Amino acid sequence: MKKKLLIVMCILVVGQLFAQEIIQIGDGSELSYSPVNVVFDYSYSQTIYLQEEINLSDNEIYKIEFFWTGGLSTPRDKIFEIYMGHTTENNFIDSWPQYVNTILPISIFTKVFDGTVLLPDEPGWIEINLDIPFLYNNLDNLAIAINQVMPGFLLNEEMPFAGQFYASHTPERNNRTEVRYRPTDRLYWENIEEEAHNWFWLDPILRYDMTPNIRFHFKPSSPEPIFTITPIEHSFSILSAGETSEPAVFTIRNLGHGPLSILNTAITGQHHEHFRIDLFPSDQDLSYLETTTIEVVFEPLSAGDKVAYLTIVDNYSTLPYYVMLSGRGLSSTSISHEIGTGNIEIPNLPVHANWDQSYSQFIYLQSEIDIADSEIISLSFYYNGHPGWNVISNWDIYLAHTELEQFPTLSYTPNDFVSISEFALVYSGNIAFTSTPGWVQIDLDTPFEYNNVQNLMIAVNRIGGGGWANGPAFLSTASLPQRRGIVLAQDGAVLNPENIIIGGMTAGIVALNNIPNIRFLFNASEMPTEELFPPILLTPQNNAINTPLEVSLNWINNPLGIQPDAYLIYFGETNPPPFIISLPREINSWTPPIPLEHNTIYYWQIISTSLFDYNDAPSNIFAFTTKQVTSIDENQIIPLKTILGNNYPNPFNPITTINFTLNIETNLKIDIHNIKGQKVKSLLNEYRPAGVHNIVWNGKDDNGNDVGSGVYFYRMESEGYVSTKKMVMIK
């Protein structure tokens, strides 16, 4: 039965109440492979919702929800592209075999979301905050198109109905949803009407006389400007000192109906001199939905990790906007080192291209590497390319020292693999492959210190992005005298290196006398020295403006030196600031106990000190200015968006700072979950004012115990907003 549910909520924005309306269409329990078919690698769907089902004027859609069945063994990230458009069509016509022409034309749609959606293991509504609100005209029907552009995954054999969405039959039983999918090549939005049909297995087209259960979140269109920028962070590739990166392009868009002017842009932060604004067009006044771009380049002047912020001030917001920039500079002694010159195309190392899940381990000998006093900062594998192949897959890469020169005789059980506890996780992320052959460089999240005494073992766990017969491969050097690699590949059961289970459709465990051709990039190690180094000041940044009065000072110990015994805190309105308090080294944050004044410059400095015969190590003196007193009209809307930002550093050990912004005064929660979805830490549960905030997690759970290495998810819930992001702890 079809159901429309209308929920009216009141949102407080700086003294003003406005109505937020939630319209739910559908409460059925029919299982559906729309809006996306997660069983197959790629899917594309269109759904039509009727005007009489929505019937709401002068509002824009800023968030949608779909009801997910759950049932996965672990939460999964998926990449969705979501489009919305108006249409006078009421349904899709059955016109087989001329099915290509049944879909709605591309020209009616506007992209409203392009990003990652977390599919949890538990059932429930999945919230998607749109990048661009969609202004619904309440005259036509609403069409939604969703393109799944990150590989899917086959279902768990024990849960054959897992990984789907709930839907409801249309009252008139006409086809209002169409889904097409394929197991290998991506469905390209730009060519969707003309695409060649490389279909496999099931019927390529599913037409449903039902629509996915959905919740639309509406809000009144803002009469004021609303600033947005994408992306909200950027990490540059590794460069040698003196080199210049390709520009990173940031797009500013006005989502409000008032004029938006960009008043100032700058690079700020501790390493601002290593980044440069390369291009900023002179046309800086934006009307509704208009955009402009800023290009930033990375030019490392020295070796090491660099972090700075693209800082933007507009004509309306009381706070500046910050976009995190990061990059790594190479030392002059960096070395590129290749092993393997074979041209054998074997689709099983470092990942098995013919199966959806694969886990491999392979060995490189010390005599093949023979580079001392250096750390591995990137790996490259030579990919042979594949016509029409465009895929994104998730890789976890681990490195370990080993005495093994080959794998012993196989028992063809999970015991054939070296325990993952002996490895260090050095990379976790998505890797894109196209039809073009060449080296695929993977910059490690965490450099690996190679001892040049033992052999090196690499483990790669790949989730999604597998192909079928005659799929792509990596070039390998074969016919080696030793069993240098083993791989397990399968469909239908997720591979977890911590608990390897052979299941689903599987190729089993295979031993290989080959290694993938590889290119290492080594950098001279920066070994800790027996002295104190100044702590690294995090926030507030030097010369920050409009800093909230409820500010906390945050810092971390410099990893190049020894651990201090205490930190000396200096803070005040004079430069240099006076001494305030001494804190133990376990504490990396301090909040001034006295109220701060508006529009006042404050100075702060942290000094690392030791009980032993080491010289104190003072940081630079940072300054920040508190926000000005602003008279706010009761009808004024602060356009700062509520956003859960990225944590830094990431990966981390064991302390990381989570950044977030609030566009309203609200109660909020931030919780930390492990990869199984279990909550390990309630990090924040309190009232916070509108503005820019951050909170530090020290790597401990609710019982005060240190958590282990691995992937964690941090989730923020506030009024009208829920978001989850991933971070990695490496010890």
Which pLDDT does position 233 carry in this prediction?
86
| Total length of the chain | 731
Query: Out of 149-158, 231-240, 400-409, 662-671, which region has the weakest mean confidence (pLDDT)?
Result: 149-158
Query: Out of 60-64, 124-128, 161-165, 654-658, which region has the weakest mean confidence (pLDDT)?
Result: 161-165
Provide the mean pLDDT of the chain.
80
Model confidence at 101, in pLDDT bands (50, 70, 90)?
A: low
Residue 53 DSSP one-character state:
H
Which pLDDT does position 202 carry in this prediction?
40
| 432 pLDDT higher than 60 | yes
| 35 pLDDT higher than 90 | no
| 599 pLDDT higher than 50 | yes
Closest CA to 187 of 204, 201, 211: 204
Strands 544-547 and 622-626: parallel
Which pLDDT does position 179 carry in this prediction?
79
184 or 113: which carries more pLDDT confidence? 113
Strands 227-230 and 214-220: unpaired
3-state SS string over 473-510? CEEEECCCCCCCEEEEEEECCCCCCCCCCCCCEEEEEE
Name every residue whose Cβ is closer than 8 Å to that of residue 97 and which is 6 or more positions away in sequence.
Answer: none
Query: Out of 179-183, 327-331, 445-449, 453-457, which region has the weakest mean confidence (pLDDT)?
Result: 179-183
- Say how many CA atoms lie within 13 Å of 150 toward its Cβ: 21
| 282 pLDDT higher than 70 | no
| 152 pLDDT higher than 60 | no
| 117 pLDDT higher than 60 | yes
d(CA 381, CA 431): 12
CA dihedral 467, 471, 477, 483 (to 10 degrees): 40
For 686, counting Cβ atoms within 10 Å of its Cβ (0-12 exposed, 13-18 middle, 19+ buried), the class is exposed
Helices H, strands E: what count in the chain? 2, 53
d(CA 671, CA 572): 33
Model confidence at 186, in pLDDT bands (50, 70, 90)?
A: very low
| 44 pLDDT higher than 50 | yes
CA distances from residue 493 to 98, 162, 403 in whole angstroms, order as listed? 36, 12, 31
Which pLDDT does position 204 carry in this prediction?
55
Percentage above 70 pLDDT, the chain? 82
| 254 pLDDT higher than 50 | yes
Residue 198 DSSP one-character state:
-
Q: Which domains does the chain have, with CATH numbers?
A: 4-220 (no CATH), 223-332 (2.60.40.10), 335-524 (2.60.120), 528-630 (2.60.40.10), 639-731 (2.60.40.1930)
| 638 pLDDT higher than 50 | no
pTM reported for the whole predicted model? 0.57
CA distances from residue 321 to 63, 177, 223, 226, 327 in whole angstroms, order as listed? 22, 40, 21, 12, 20
Name every residue whose Cβ is closer than 8 Å to that of residue 382 and which is 6 or more positions away in sequence.
Answer: 437, 438, 439, 440, 474, 475, 516, 517, 519
The H-assigned helical ranges of 17-117 are 51-54
| 398 pLDDT higher than 90 | yes
